[in-house]
Structure 1
Amino acid sequence: MPSITRRPPRSDEDRTAVRARLLATTQRLLTEGVGFTELGVQRIAAEAKVARSSFYVHFRDKSELLLLLATSLKQKSFDIVSRWQSEREADWEGLARAYEDVLTLYRENAAVLRAINEAATYDPAVRAAWNAQLGRFHRTVADRLRADQRAGLLGPDVDPEIGARVVVFGGFAVLSQHIADGDAADDAAVAREVALAHWHGTFRRPAVP
């Protein structure tokens, strides 16, 4: 009876390498201008030099892969803004620097951001997951506003939940639109205007009679 040679199971290191290759390949293709809607699993797998079946070992579909790229992007931007919030003497100038750093990050990952915005228009799961990522920012900003109210730095007439929504969702809309259509030379000016609007309009808004 002929012997059967079994392939040894892939190690965790092998799996991690394949997963990383699929992620890097997808980001490269998006950066090269391939639209996310047109980008199929077969092409991702072929470009990454893995079997199509191997793709599904790591990801349920291409949307799940995209969301992993998006989660990494959001975590980095969250870390940038969190550093500003943790500063002892946080002010609008520090917030402007943080927003400028976020714009730099978004420019480096513009293709992923574009793909997320594209997929969110027709994929409810992508839209819900992306909004959940923004929701994390919302909770952090709302907590900051409540803390500032307790410290007497912000008037009681500011609604922390609504104010945080304006800062997070409004700010993201402006920054992402600037990445899509604006000039990189204007990044500092855009960051400054958004920071001033958020600082004086929400974080340190004077009490309204």
Structure 2
Amino acid sequence: MAQQSRAINVHLGQELKSNWAEYCAKIGKTPGVAIKEAVELLLETSPHPPLEQQDPPIDSEPKTRIQALVTPSEKKAIAARARLTRLSQQEWIREAIKEHLQQTETFTSKNEQKLTHKRQPKRANEPDSPIENKLLMAMESLIERNRNFGSVTVEELSKEAGIARATFYLHFSDKAELVAKLMQHLTKDVVDSAGTWFEKSQNPAGNINIRSTVSGIFKTFKKHHAILEAITHTSKYDQNVARLHQQMMDQLCAQSRHAIYKNTGGKLPEGVSYDILADVLTRVIEMYCAEYISDYDDEQLERLIDTFSHICHQAIFSTAP
């Protein structure tokens, strides 16, 4: 029985090969070794793609040959991933190389813009993965152009993000999985801004502190309005997204219950429950933001924050029955 070859020939195209060679020279590695490391990284970090037909990336540029040695188990894994995405092994490896170039901050050339979007400054609590960040910015851009997230296709989202559809499916099985991943970052951001809600205001004079925390909540929801819209649509049919959304709200409500009880000692007007009050205030803010926050400019947002701060202060500290 003939021994299975450990080599895979990959046709990159003259421009991509030149960019790859330039990058490899800068990091002091041979092209073959760098390809092997890029493939290993992608195999380690990528979830399994869906079992559905995928179109190979359209690229009319002439290809040139480059060769890399991989282990039998790596070659088997590459073949399995390529099969799942309905790409050839060569096409799958080309996507891995392109993605590795996109993720590497040290790669620079006059043709870099053809491979990546212009880099933007990192925002607080934004997704760490470059692919996730590109897709988040693409979502924001499409929604700001009045596109409904439910009608946006994976093809449109990938094109707006500047990635191949196959690259999207290397990371996510569908849009719902992308939303679930982005919601993890939203949850952390919201909990960070609302986790100490009311805790510093130890008496009714603490209105300024309430405004500060309410402001943090509203501005966080405003920043993530694209994810909020995606959650609203996706949670209607995806149980995992609905579950994660419920977990996020449970965390926020728990923080609010603790804060209200701590600052009132549970001494509210007769018949008023501090935990129900906390849940109502928290959910009203989230529901209002999900529906309307994207329409507010900066001046309107400040008035909205003032209004909800007043509502929260009166609801918590008023002694009226």
Q: TM over 0.5, yes or no?
A: yes
Structure 2 match to 1:172: 286
* Alpha-carbon offset, residue 36 of structure 1: 1.1
Gaps of 5+ in 2: 10-34, 46-98, 104-128
Structure 2 match to 1:72: 185
Q: Give the counterpart letter for 1:114 in structure 2.
A: E
Following the alignment from structure 1 to structure 2, what is the Cα–Cα distance between the partners of residues 149 and 33?
44
The Cα offsets for residues 116-167 of structure 1, whole Å up to 9 and x where unpaired, read as: 22333444443332222111101111122333354x7656754233122111
Percent identity of equivalent pairs: 19
Q: Which has the higher helix share?
A: 1
* Bigger Rg, which one: 2
Higher relative contact order (CA 8 A, sep 6+): 1
Following the alignment from structure 2 to structure 1, what is the Cα–Cα distance between the partners of residues 158 and 247?
28
What's the RMSD between the two structures over aligned residues? 3.3
Q: 1:104 aligns with which of 207, 219, 242?
A: 219
Residues 77, 3 of structure 1: CA spacing in aligned structure 2 closer, same or farther, 3 A cutoff? closer
Structure 1 match to 2:310: 196
Following the alignment from structure 1 to structure 2, what is the Cα–Cα distance between the partners of residues 19 and 137?
25
Matches within 5 A, 1:81-96: 81-87=194-200, 89=202, 91-96=206-211
Please tell me whether residue 24 in structure 1 is matched to residue 137 in structure 2.
Answer: yes
* Alpha-carbon offset, residue 180 of structure 1: 4.6
Which one is further off, 190-199 or 123-132? Answer: 123-132
Matches within 5 A, 1:20-169: 20-87=133-200, 89=202, 91-150=206-265, 154=268, 157-169=271-283
The Cα offsets for residues 15-66 of structure 1, whole Å up to 9 and x where unpaired, read as: 7433433333333333333321121222333443444333233223211212
Q: Is the 8 A contact 1:148 1:154 kept in 2?
A: no
Please tell me whether residue 4 in structure 1 is matched to residue 118 in structure 2.
Answer: no
Following the alignment from structure 1 to structure 2, what is the Cα–Cα distance between the partners of residues 134 and 45?
30
SS of match in other structure, 1:5 = strand
Residues 191, 22 of structure 1: CA spacing in aligned structure 2 closer, same or farther, 3 A cutoff? closer
Q: How many residues align?
A: 206
Following the alignment from structure 1 to structure 2, what is the Cα–Cα distance between the partners of residues 145 and 106?
22
* Alpha-carbon offset, residue 176 of structure 1: 3.7
Residues 89, 44 of structure 1: CA spacing in aligned structure 2 closer, same or farther, 3 A cutoff? same
Q: Is the 8 A contact 1:96 1:195 kept in 2?
A: yes
